[in-house]
A and B are shown apart, each in its own frame.
Chain A
Amino acid sequence: MAQAAHTLNSSKPLGHGHSVKRHTGLMDWLTTVDHKKIAILYLWAGGLFFGIGGIEALLIRWQLIKPMNDFLDAQTFNELITMHGTTMIFLGVMPIIFALMNAVIPLQIGARDVAFPFLNALGFWTFLFGGILLNLSWVMGGAPDAGWTAYTPLSTSTYSTTHGVDFYTIGLQIAGLGTLIGGINFLATIITMRAPGMTYMRMPMFAWTTFITSAIILFAFPAVTVGLVLLTFDRILGANFFEVGAGGNPVLWQHIFWIFGHPEVYILILPAFGIISEVIPTFSRKRLFGYSSMVFATILIAFLGFMVWAHHMFTTGLGPVANALFSVSTMLIAVPTGIKIFNWLFTMWGGQVRFTTPNLFAAGFIPTFTMGGVTGVMLASAPADFQFHDTYFVVAHFHYVIVGGLVLGLFAGLHYWWPKMFGRMLSEKLGKWTFWTFIIGFHLTFFVQHFLGLMGMQRRVFTYLPNQQFDLLNLVSTIGAGLMSVGTIIFLINIYLTSRKPADAANDPWEDGRTLEWTIPSPPPEYNFKQTPLIRGIDAFWKEKMAGNKGMTPAEPVGSIHMPSATILPFTMSVGIFIAGLGFMFSRDDFGNAFMSFMFNYYIVTAIGLIITFGSMLLRSLYDDHGWHIEPEELEGSERT
């Protein structure tokens, strides 16, 4: 039938003629199901939220620059720390990770798209609308204020009386749905869409870490969804999950949150491990040292990641047996992590290390992340953690892991794949400035915080009394934060200047590319590969290069390529969920306006939202997407030389 659809339209002029209506401009972005465009959407949206989270961080640091500062009031400060953590993790770094996964994974495994292009778009739009909903709280009565961990009872409606925490629970449920969809999509993509010859043990490391990360998402996110649902029910429907007076148990929230929350840490860091494992071999001109043990270590980390959650709860009072068990299981994670670090170092050993911007970030990543790792092992020791817990020592630790690890990894990945995504090389000069200002600023900001914690400064305090020897270190920390933002601004300038240059990046702009994405044009055509490549070993492209070949051996003849149709439905489905979420959140409010109260209190708004969502789903189910075809003649035409 798809064949028939094509014949019907083949009378149109070739070259531009497609069998479906093609959208342009804004509609193109709203309806796209192309993984490369969705990657760019993820990047801009994630970047926007990253910027918001960064501004929140700067406000926090400015408030803490001196003791008894009154720049911010206590309530605003608590809202800022809550939103900073939540935004950065769920709306900042995770979408940027998804941006890189979307941009790179199909290319690395030799696929023309992900397994479910429609779901891919749906995942993006639900994330975006969840994020928008959460951030609307700033202008709709106050942001959540109970910390990103939202511990009960502080987050229940008794103690957090604004709608802030409702924005948190419902926004994260919607955004989390998007993440879950993305996770399932990448699992299926990597399982079924690999090019011929690309066995699991020939996959690039980034594909492996994406695979494992997606698996963690699949098994961790439903847990937090349940937690958020329970909290929503407590707050909006008057349920008693965390209401002590009616038999509820606040500690239950901590278990549910951290059963998700700890694996979440590995959801964040494993992709960074993958990026580093791509960048270092490329710029050392050497294959990744100990590939199979790297794969094994990744799986082991994911596995152990699910059985250490209670190390966030050593001071909750779980008793010595639980504390001892979780201490030991946590320390064990150091072993596979150590394997990775040494493998990276020995990848460079004997290589020819080139200090391009991506590799500078990768080289900065190793010692910085190691520092975050060792403080992690220190924290694992429960009796020591009784002191560390909830102090600036912990703040320093997780920023070393997430910023010093993940964000440095993301910078490495963005500089590395930027030419592939946009066809333009970022300026190396500005890139190096970004690196040095960012990493020096980073260490200034967070290294001193270890000592602040040990000297008795607990976290999440909106200000502190003078004369506790905290003043100087806090000042240093704030200066460092300023330097980090200088680095980020240089990066933005770099993006802007680069965007004004011609898109002339070569297929393999770093010249030493090892994997499949470097065999095709930058940016790749819509269909990625004119012919699906045949994979003959690990580092497929490098292998061909060494054999003296210019490109990959095709696994199929040139033929017409089937493409999925663009559709607005993912967007409308997400709009529907967004409306339903807002409607449910305000269902108990008195608006002082009969019409508004009627619309919300009788769940009319919620129903409208759900009708939009389920109606879109129904349309999707009823009208089959037959897609369209790109013909061989068009392939030749659009090929860049």
Chain B
Amino acid sequence: MMKTWQAVKRLLPMTAMFGLFLAGCGREDLSVLRPQGPQAELSYGLMELSISIMIVVLLIVFTIAAYVLIRFRRKPGQNEIPEQVEGSIKLEILWTVIPLILVVVLAVPTVKAVFAAGDDHANDKDAIKVKVTGHQYWWEFEYTDYKVTTAQDLIIPVGKDIAFELETKDVLHSFWVPSLSGKIDTNPAGTINRFSFSAPNEGVYRGKCAELCGPSHGFMEFKVKSVSEQDFQKWIDSMKAPVAVLPEDPALAEKFKAACLTCHAVGDQGINNAPNLTGIGSRESIAGILLNDDTREDGAPIEENLKTWLHDPQSVKPGNLMPNPKDLGLSDAEIDGIAEYLANYKLD
């Protein structure tokens, strides 16, 4: 009786977990378990295959374990000496050969998938070439064919292969959009990585940094926005429009140039040492983690997010390299003015 109870006790957490598992596999735009593109499906397929094999293995082991633990427990007064079995060649061969077969079953599709995933589309004329650069703690995306640079939001045309070239400017990061593809590290110059994925459906997908890169590693998020071919062209065109939209108030514009454009860029002005701000008003988030969606409980209007960020960047992302605007001589009113200007700096 006692043993049955113990077996039940051990199974309880398992069934509870299984319930949790069925209840949800995570967000569609974030979860590995809800793949949204061929690369993620490739990984997911192997996971399905391996977990199926492994569940069979687990069932066999658990069943034998449960059987021997219940059947062969020592009964009171049992004192005869059990037969001292040395082993069994047949059984040893059995549990050597069967796992070997299982390994082969998993290894063959694995090797195939490794080489399939190795196709980085670097020489594919139809692919969109994007150079990804990791920075503590933000992402820079350069569309090399279009000479367009942006940050934090990666806009891609739906269904097209995107050929990535990944590099870091400081420490190692890892570029990961779980629902679209596995991750790959951004290494320093000399060990540059390339890979490719595509998103067959329009939507916004969450991306993360998956390699410890400092205090705000957990906040180094970005978004991948898959849009129609038309919208993508439109976006490229407006990004390429050379005119920089500056604050209307000329005094503020001067301040903005002096304090911000020494690292940031808008349109054809400034430099790309920090996230490019062109069309920042149209982005999904500020600093990758303050979501510009006031219809959701965890979002806020973009202007509010910009103010949160600009008034104290360190409290939003500890350890980030942006100086506090107040230390650059901007007053609270000027910061709010810049926030308002940036919030309204949208692309057509």
A and B: real partners? yes
Q: Which residues of A contact B (CB under 8 A)?
A: 73-75, 77-78, 146-147, 151, 153-154, 159, 244, 249-251, 284-287, 289-293, 315-317, 319-320, 323-324, 327-328, 331-332, 334-335, 338-339, 341-343, 345-346, 348-355, 363, 366-367, 370-371, 374-375, 377-378, 380-387, 389-391, 436, 440, 443-444, 447-448, 451, 453-456, 458-469, 472-473, 546
- The 5 listed contacts between A and B (C-beta, < 8 Å) are A377-B103, A384-B46, A390-B183, A447-B14, A451-B17
Contact between chains at B31 and A455 (CB < 8 Å) = yes
Contact between chains at B114 and A342 (CB < 8 Å) = no
* 12 further interface pairs, Cβ-Cβ under 8 Å (given A154-B213, A387-B32): A250-B172, A250-B187, A338-B99, A349-B72, A370-B61, A384-B43, A447-B14, A447-B17, A451-B17, A453-B32, A454-B26, A464-B218
Contact between chains at B73 and A341 (CB < 8 Å) = no
Min CB gap A444→B, angstroms: 6
Q: Kindly state whether residue B298 has any CB partner on chain A within 8 Å.
A: yes
Of B85-93, B242-250, B275-283, B322-330, which stretch is located at the interface? B85-93
Contact between chains at B110 and A327 (CB < 8 Å) = yes
Size class of the contact patch on chain B: 35 or more
Tell me the bound Cα distance from A227 to B170 in angstroms: 21
Contact between chains at B13 and A244 (CB < 8 Å) = no
Min CB gap A450→B, angstroms: 9
Min CB gap B49→A, angstroms: 8
Q: Which residues of B contact A387 (CB under 8 A)?
A: 32, 40, 43-44, 47, 178, 182-183
A151's closest neighbor in chain B, by CB?
A: B172
Q: Which residues of B contact A436 (CB under 8 A)?
A: 9
Q: Which residues of A contact B58 (CB under 8 A)?
A: 367, 370-371, 374
Known contacts A249-B190, A378-B54; A363/B69 CB under 8 A: yes
Known contacts A353-B72, A458-B209; A451/B171 CB under 8 A: no
Min CB gap A85→B, angstroms: 11
Min CB gap B299→A, angstroms: 9
Q: 1/0 contact trace for B174-193 toward A, CB 8 Å?
A: 10101101111101111101
Contact between chains at B87 and A293 (CB < 8 Å) = yes
Contact between chains at B185 and A346 (CB < 8 Å) = no
A293's closest neighbor in chain B, by CB?
A: B92
CB < 8 Å neighbour of A363 from B65, B102, B174 = B65
Tell me the bound Cα distance from A410 to B40 in angstroms: 39
Known contacts A290-B88, A315-B174; A370/B103 CB under 8 A: no
Q: Which 5 A-B pairs have the closest CB atoms?
A: A386-B182, A461-B218, A455-B26, A74-B215, A320-B118
Contact between chains at B91 and A346 (CB < 8 Å) = yes
Q: 1/0 contact trace for B95-139 toward A, CB 8 Å?
A: 110011011001100110111111000000000000000000000
Tell me the bound Cα distance from A440 to B16 in angstroms: 13
Q: Kindly state whether residue B8 has any CB partner on chain A within 8 Å.
A: no
CB < 8 Å neighbour of A320 from B87, B103, B115 = B115
Contact between chains at A469 and B73 (CB < 8 Å) = no
Known contacts A292-B87, A341-B61; A352/B190 CB under 8 A: no
Q: Kindly state whether residue B20 has any CB partner on chain A within 8 Å.
A: yes
CB < 8 Å neighbour of A315 from B33, B82, B95, B184 = B184
Tell me the bound Cα distance from A146 to B172 in angstroms: 11
Tell me the bound Cα distance from A328 to B42 in angstroms: 18
CB < 8 Å neighbour of A324 from B20, B65, B110, B221 = B110
Q: Which residues of A contact B118 (CB under 8 A)?
A: 319-320, 323
Contact between chains at B46 and A458 (CB < 8 Å) = no
